[in-house]
Amino acid sequence: MARIITTQLCTVFLVAIFVLAISVQGDQSQLCEPSSIQIGQTNTGKKARTLDTVFQVTVTNGCRCAVRAVLLRADGFASSVAVDPRLFRRASAAAGAYLVGDGQQIASGKSVSFQYTWDHYFKMTLASVKVVAC
């Protein structure tokens, strides 16, 4: 009888630890707020052959987890000099949304940068991001 009670207590204890571990880990998407993806944009001070200004955009993953499929909203975006499509390109399904870094994983603390050229900067904001691994 004591052995059955001990076995049941061990089972209850293991289930409690498992539930606690799941609740502490939680949903990975809750670990990264949209504000953890920083979008910095600077005027490089350079002019392209078109005499348009060169802007550098740096998208930094400030989340403690790796992310992928980073989409930026950049309404009306244009560049007089081609942007490397592996770094920044229009997303096929979403108007005004652009895929960063070919949709590949960006590790915590790492960045993807690209340049574009136009007579003014374009406001860029985070449209969506997927958390991959912590």
Same domain? For 9 and 69 the reply is: no
CATH number for 72 = 2.60.40
Same domain? For 128 and 65 the reply is: yes
Q: Reduced to 3 states, what is the DSSP secondary structure of residue 131?
A: strand
Same domain? For 26 and 88 the reply is: no
Same domain? For 113 and 124 the reply is: yes
Provide the pLDDT for residue 30. 52
Q: Minimum mean pLDDT among 13-17, 68-72, 102-106: which range?
A: 13-17
Same domain? For 49 and 88 the reply is: yes
Q: Which residue has the higher pLDDT, 90 or 21?
A: 90
Please compute the mean of the pLDDT values over residues 1-5 and round it to a whole number.
53
At 94, list the tokens.
């979403």
Q: Reduced to 3 states, what is the DSSP secondary structure of residue 2?
A: helix
Provide the pLDDT for residue 3. 54
Range of the domain at 73: 33-133
pLDDT in tens, 71-117: 999 999 999 999 999 999 999 766 789 999 999 999 999 999 999 99
pLDDT at residue 62 greater than cutoff 50: yes
Same domain? For 53 and 43 the reply is: yes
Report the number of distinct structural domains present in the chain: 2
Q: DSSP labels for 21-90?
A: HHHHH--GGGG--GGGEEEEEEEEEEE-TTSPEEEEEEEEE-SSSEEEEEEEE-TT---SS---TTTEEE
Mean pLDDT of the chain: 83
Same domain? For 118 and 53 the reply is: yes
Q: How confident is the model at residue 2 (pLDDT cuts 50, 70, 90)?
A: low
